Structure 1
Amino acid sequence: MTTPPLLSAQGLHVTFPGRHGAAHARAVDGVDLDIRPGEIVALVGESGCGKTTLARSLLGLVPPTGGGVTFDGKPLDYSSRALKAYRKRVQLVLQDPSGSLNPRHTVYDAVAEGLRIHGYGGDEQAAVAQALSRAGLRPPERFFLRYPHELSGGQRQRVVIAGALVLEPELIVADEPVASLDASVRGEILALLLRLRSELGLSALVVTHDLGLAWNIADRVAVMYLGRVVETGDVEQVLTAPRHPYTQALLSVLPEAPGDPVVLTGEPPDPSRIPSGCRFHARCQILASGEAERAGVADACRGQDLEVLDGSGGAQVACHWARAALTS
């Protein structure tokens, strides 16, 4: 944990104005998160928790309304010139390869697009071939003149990854990188990302709702709920001994999980009306079962706010009950 982070968010807030004078939606509501060189961090949570907005803010696509982002020790500059240089070093891999690729562009043009935007002065064809080869499309020349509709889903996702790799970035942000792929292909893409980390020293933030994916690929996991990270730590520690009731509920529905699945009641609260106390308390199975009452923390769960977890990566949890259990 002594290595300085490559990418860091400090007290990050992103709010969106409500319609017709309604309260602002606090999509990201105070997040600290560090990603170190060569590290893969999984950002996990259900739909609507703010993880994609956080990722977009880290990429400079959504300016924060509070806090800030630093990259390689320097605050992110939101001028057009600075963002262009930043996006050469930090690349995005989207969920849907079919939507990411222009159906009228060949594979060659899709991968070469980044080079052309950034005014690459070297051998374009050699760079495209190397990126395709690194992404597992070999021999690369065989794919140059193909169109997306001529490829399988896994091959399309490899083209998207090649398009990110061609600029030789230091970090990639992968938003649900295997969600649209068949189970047989998912493992191949995950193995590819791990190989790229070992061969190129690539860092990655993998945004996902799938804890099984996090287990297979990440060094560290950050579990997000209603705009905040509520539990973080080494992936094995968090996913084998989860302390936050929300993490426990997410893990309980995996096929290999012991015991009965925890079915959370209702939907996540409206981010424009975040409840007081623990933001998960309205759906918390520990509070509903009376366990929090027996531990003497039920009132704190309902009314005492929890501080923002720091981004250092040590094992942390934002839960009154879990902290009480640790000290008892």
Structure 2
Amino acid sequence: MTVTPQSVAAAASVPAAPLLSAEGLEVSFPARRGDAARARAVDGVDLDIRPGEIVALVGESGCGKTTLARSLLGLVPPTAGRVTFAGRPLDYSSRALKAYRKRVQLVLQDPSGSLNPRHTVYDAVAEGLRIHAYAGDEHEAVSTALARAGLRPPERFFLRYPHELSGGQRQRVVIAGALVLEPELIVADEPVASLDASVRGEILALLLRLRAELGLSALVVTHDLGLAWNIADRVAVMYLGRIIETGAVEDVLSSPQHPYTQALLSVLPEAPGDPVVLTGEPPDPSRIPPGCRFHARCHILANGEADRAGVATACRTTDLPLLNGSGASQVACHWAASR
């Protein structure tokens, strides 16, 4: 086969196969006692994460972000749809999940709650190695993980307990505990929400450095669009169990198309104009309204813009198709599609 500049360029332009994919993923739970309906926490989600890519999953509390993340980790089996990793459907047997969780690790929001107060830093980081019967040099693996997480020299932290560390140091220990198994992807659920502003930037810089040095992929679950702007390659905006806007972070956050995304961005300190105040709460996930699931709170519908665009009836009555997980810029909004 002859290699030409054109063939090299064509190969470079082909996106890498997804490392992790959700396809038509649904997760539902029993609703209130006596109610036959089920709460659809995740209601049809396609999402791809490619090798070395950082994807931010954003939205208000209760929109389904954490349930989606837990399902991607194999902690919550889907009601419908499937999760694939490295091209193979996720197997929910105990042995298969144990092997999977060596390759995909979770970093939780609250490092104080993630760390056992009776365990030293060394034991906290070594725990994963012991669960997976690591056959190598445990001391070396723990030292390497702590150093990669920015705790240097690592030996200085071995015998410390969580209460002896700052909040930023505790979060670094949690990250080291995830890194020690050399995963290919981490799922970080609000990784800096409990940290002081002065420490947040350090942890975000650490995650970016780990991606550069290790080729690590990450799904960062957050309600903070400012965080997404600083760390992500791509953003997926979730509302009431579905992804309603997605694309490259610069495209979505510089020129948001969905009214919900516009409202989330409007409250950032640097946002121009007046903030958009959303009225009411998201609907009950066991009673999802017809039409666009955001229409009851939509300022575009309320101020008459949707009516002037001729889509107000569709907003209230016509459901929107699911967005695919390809990463292309997409929006599920009748008004945005009419513009």
TM-score bracket relative to the smaller structure:
over 0.9
Are 1:34 and 2:48 counterparts? Answer: yes
User: More deviation in 177-186 or 14-23?
Assistant: 14-23
SS at match of 2:250: helix
Are 1:109 and 2:123 counterparts? Answer: yes
Are 1:14 and 2:27 counterparts? Answer: yes
SS at match of 1:196: helix
Question: In the TM superposition, what whole-angstrom CA distance separates every residue of 1:186-214 from its partner, at most 9, and x where no partner exists?
Answer: 00000000000000000000000000000
Q: Corresponding residue for 1:132?
A: 146
Q: Corresponding residue for 2:7?
A: none
Structure 1: gaps of 5 or more residues? none
Quote the Cα distance in structure 1 between the aligned partners of 2:202 and 2:117: 24
Question: In the TM superposition, what whole-angstrom CA distance separates every residue of 1:160-206 from its partner, at most 9, and x where no partner exists?
Answer: 00000000000000000000000000000000000000000000000
Quote the Cα distance in structure 1 between the aligned partners of 2:205 and 2:40: 35
- Which amino acid is 2:27 matched to? V
Counting matched residue pairs gives 325
Q: Corresponding residue for 1:2?
A: 15
Residue 73 of structure 1: CA displacement?
A: 0.1
1:88-167 equivalent positions in 2, closer than 5 A: 88-167=102-181
Question: In the TM superposition, what whole-angstrom CA distance separates every residue of 1:21-56 from its partner, at most 9, and x where no partner exists?
Answer: 311100000000000000000000000000000000
Quote the Cα distance in structure 2 between the aligned partners of 1:277 and 1:3: 35
Question: In the TM superposition, what whole-angstrom CA distance separates every residue of 1:207-264 from its partner, at most 9, and x where no partner exists?
Answer: 0000000000000000000000000000000000000000000000000000000000
Question: In the TM superposition, what whole-angstrom CA distance separates every residue of 1:141-171 from its partner, at most 9, and x where no partner exists?
Answer: 0000000000000000000000000000000
Quote the Cα distance in structure 2 between the aligned partners of 1:86 and 1:17: 28
Q: Corresponding residue for 2:72?
A: 58
Q: State the TM-score, normalized to the length of structure 2.
A: 0.95
Q: Corresponding residue for 1:322?
A: 336
1:96-245 equivalent positions in 2, closer than 5 A: 96-245=110-259
Q: Corresponding residue for 1:311?
A: 325
Quote the Cα distance in structure 2 between the aligned partners of 1:69 and 1:20: 30
Q: Corresponding residue for 2:5?
A: none
SS at match of 1:292: helix
Quote the Cα distance in structure 1 between the aligned partners of 2:237 and 2:112: 28
Quote the Cα distance in structure 1 between the aligned partners of 2:288 and 2:264: 21
How many percent identity over aligned positions?
A: 86
- Which amino acid is 1:291 matched to? E
1:272-287 equivalent positions in 2, closer than 5 A: 272-287=286-301
Residue 18 of structure 1: CA displacement?
A: 1.6
SS at match of 1:162: helix
Q: Corresponding residue for 1:295?
A: 309
Quote the Cα distance in structure 1 between the aligned partners of 2:17 and 2:271: 36
Quote the Cα distance in structure 2 between the aligned partners of 1:178 and 1:3: 29
1:243-262 equivalent positions in 2, closer than 5 A: 243-262=257-276
Q: Corresponding residue for 1:84?
A: 98
Quote the Cα distance in structure 2 between the aligned partners of 1:133 and 1:90: 20
Structure 2: gaps of 5 or more residues? 1-13
Q: Corresponding residue for 2:84?
A: 70
Quote the Cα distance in structure 2 between the aligned partners of 1:30 and 1:39: 22
Residue 2 of structure 1: CA displacement?
A: 2.2
Quote the Cα distance in structure 2 between the aligned partners of 1:37 and 1:275: 37
Question: In the TM superposition, what whole-angstrom CA distance separates every residue of 1:101-139 from its partner, at most 9, and x where no partner exists?
Answer: 000000000000000000000000000000000000000
Quote the Cα distance in structure 2 between the aligned partners of 1:144 and 1:65: 43
Cα RMSD after superposing both structures:
0.5
- Which amino acid is 1:111 matched to? V
4+ residue stretches of structure 1 with deviation over 2 A?
A: none
SS at match of 2:229: helix
- Which amino acid is 2:21 matched to? S
Quote the Cα distance in structure 2 between the aligned partners of 1:221 and 1:118: 33
SS at match of 1:126: helix
- Which amino acid is 1:4 matched to? A
User: More deviation in 95-104 or 18-27?
Assistant: 18-27
SS at match of 2:325: coil
